[in-house]
């Protein structure tokens, strides 16, 4: 499958490339970044590679997925943003994880907003969700800025999270 390339004012959302493994592995090895992702554990380079392969495979199986995010002005890898729905998930999730150098610039909101737009245009989802650890106020703020609102508390894979949701009919 050919992964579509999307653009925003400042970012390019594209398929992952082999050369992304180094900045991706560095991001996944940072405890501050990984604190609120999955089990909250950092990943080794090998596990980061496997995770990257899973993200690429997700596109083949679901016809949507996560994009590598690149800063237009520098060409630098920023992080990953996009859609995620593995087996057993409560819905199609819009998610984001950025390298620390790119925090506080509005990039997560910009890329997530574009992912939501693409998701509603290219999937049959009635809603797009985000699963956020309740203490992760930065991600809660991103979720709210893209139009999501708190729906319910949930435990997924043994992790307590808040489920935020945006319905197709409420987007404009």
Dist. CA 1–CA 151, nearest whole Å? 33
Q: Kindly state whether residue 62 falls inside one of the protein's structural domains.
A: yes
pLDDT tens-digit readout, 14-66:
999 999 999 999 999 999 999 999 889 999 999 999 999 999 999 999 999 99
Strands (E), 31-158: 66-71, 77-84, 93-98, 127-132, 149-156
Q: Coil, strand, or helix at residue 72?
A: coil
Q: Work out the average pLDDT over 141-146.
A: 98
Domain count, the chain: 1
pLDDT band at 171 (very low <50, low <70, confident <90, very high): low
Give me the CATH number covering residue 24.
3.40.630.30
Residues of the domain holding 95? 6-126
């Amino acid at each position: 499958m050919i992964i579509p390339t999307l653009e925003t004012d400042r970012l390019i959302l594209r398929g992952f490339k082999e050369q992304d493994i180094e900045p991706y592995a560095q991001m996944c090895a940072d405890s501050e970044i990984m604190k609120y992702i999955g089990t909250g554990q950092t990943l080794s380079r090998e596990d980061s590679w496997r995770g990257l392969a899973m993200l690429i495979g997700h596109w083949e199986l679901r016809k949507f997925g996560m994009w590598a995010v690149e800063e237009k002005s520098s060409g630098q890898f920023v992080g990953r943003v996009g859609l995620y729905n593995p087996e057993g998930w409560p819905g199609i999730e819009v998610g984001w994880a950025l390298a620390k150098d790119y925090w506080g610039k509005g990039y997560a909101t910009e890329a997530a907003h574009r992912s939501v737009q693409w998701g509603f245009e290219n999937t049959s989802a009635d809603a797009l969700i985000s699963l956020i650890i309740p203490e992760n106020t930065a991600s809660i703020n991103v979720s709210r800025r893209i139009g999501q609102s708190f729906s319910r508390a949930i435990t997924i894979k043994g992790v307590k999270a808040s489920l935020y949701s945006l319905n197709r009919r409420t987007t404009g």
